[in-house]
Amino acid sequence: MVAKPQVKKEDRLFSLILALTASRDGLTKSDILRSVRGYSERFTFESDPTLDKLFERDKKELRSMGVVIDTFEFAGEEGQTHNVRYAISRDRYDLPAHISFTPTEVALLNLASQAWREASLSADSRHALNKIRSLGIAADDSLIGIAPRIRTVDSAFPVLADALENELILNFLYLKPGEQQARSRRASPLALVNWRDRWYALAYDMDAQAERTFLLSRIVDTPSRIAQKTWPRADEDYAGRLVEELNSLALRHDAEFLVNPASSARAQLLSWGADELPDGSFALSYADLELLADELLPLMGDISVVSPAELVTSLEFRLRLLALKHVDIAS
C-alpha cells in the first residue's frame, strides 16, 4: 500500500479555517474529519481518538491566534454531542472604523491576503468545498479568491527568498524586455516585493557593480547559488525604497485606452486599478511599458490604445510576432 503524503500543519489549519468560514450552517466534527484536508486522509467510520485529539489541538491553536470558532446546535438536537456544529463568522472580522494602519502594516496585510487568495484558489481548496457539498452541506464559495489579485508565485521565488535570507549570490538567465535572448546575470537579492500583482527583486548586480531591479517572471531558469560566496548587505529598508521607486515610475507614466463596452475588458482594466474617465476612456498608470504590453495583448480585440505611442508600437510588434508564429505552425 502506498503511504499517503503527510499534510503540513499550516495547510491543515488553513483548510479548516476555509471550511468553517465557507460553511453556511456550520460543520459537525464528523463533517470536518470527513471533508477537510489534513483529517480526511486519515478518516474512517471507526472511532479514532488520535484524530479527535488532533482536531481539539487545532481548535485550541486557532483560538489562541484570535480566530473565533462558534459552536451551536440546531433546534431539536440539543444535548447530542455529535450534532454540535462549528463555524467561523465573517462578521466578526469587520474592522472598527477608528482603526488605521501604517504603510508597512498595510503591506504586510496585503501579503497575508495574497497568501490567502493563492491558497484558496488551489485545487485542494476547491476539492474540499466540493467534498463538503457532497455531504449535503451548503457551502459558500464566495471566499475563493476573495483577496486582491495575485499571480501564482514565480518559480524563481523560493530560490531568491532563500538567497535574500542568507545573503547569497545567484546565477540566473534573465530576458530583458525587447530582447530575444536571455542573458546570464550574477546578483544578490536585497529585497523581494509584490507590486501590482507581480514579484520584483531589488538585487546587487555583480557585473554591473550596481543595484538592479528584476521582474521575477523574466527569470527563465532556476537560479543557482554561486558556491562559497555571499554578499553582506547594509542595514537598509530596500523593500520600502523599491516600492517608492515603482510608485514614482507609475506616477510619471499613464496609458489611455478606448474599450468595447460589450466586452469584459472594462472589468479587467478596473481590476488593474485603471480610472474610467468622463469621456468613457480609461487611464492606467504603469511602471514598466513592456510588462503592460504583455498584459494588454490578450485584450487587443476589445481595446485600442490612445497613448502613449510607444505602447502602440510595442503591441504592434507583439501582434506581428504572433502572426509569424501562426504562419509557421500552419505551414
Supply the pLDDT for residue 119: 47
C-alpha cell at 186: 550574477
- Residue written as grid cell 500500500: 1
DSSP annotation of 219 reads B
Instruction: Name which of 217, 156, 218, 148 is nearest 183 in CA terms.
Output: 218
Sequence-separated (6 or more) residues with CB below 8 Å from residue 73: 79, 80, 83, 84, 85
Per residue in 161-210, pLDDT (tens digit) is 889 888 999 999 999 876 779 999 999 999 988 887 788 999 999 999 99
Interaxial angle between packed helices 49-64 and 9-22, expressed in degrees from 0 to 180 and rounded to the nearest 10:
80
Confidence bin at 152 (pLDDT 50/70/90): very low
Instruction: Name which of 224, 45, 37 is nearest 128 in CA terms.
Output: 37
Sequence-separated (6 or more) residues with CB below 8 Å from residue 130: none
Instruction: Name which of 125, 111, 159 is nearest 35 in CA terms.
Output: 125
In terms of Cβ atoms closer than 10 Å to its own Cβ (0-12, 13-18, 19+), residue 102 is exposed
State how far the Cα of 176 lies from the Cα of 41, in Å rounded to an integer. Answer: 45
**Amino acid of residue 223:** P
C-alpha cell at 34: 470527513
Q: Tell which phi-psi region holds residue 43, choosing left (phi > 0), alpha (psi between -120 and 50) or beta.
A: beta
- 106 within 8 A of 140, measured Cβ to Cβ: no
Instruction: Name which of 27, 21, 32, 35 is nearest 143 in CA terms.
Output: 21
The residue that leads in pLDDT, 128 or 175, is: 175
Confidence bin at 148 (pLDDT 50/70/90): very low
Per residue in 43-67, pLDDT (tens digit) is 887 778 888 899 999 988 888 777 8
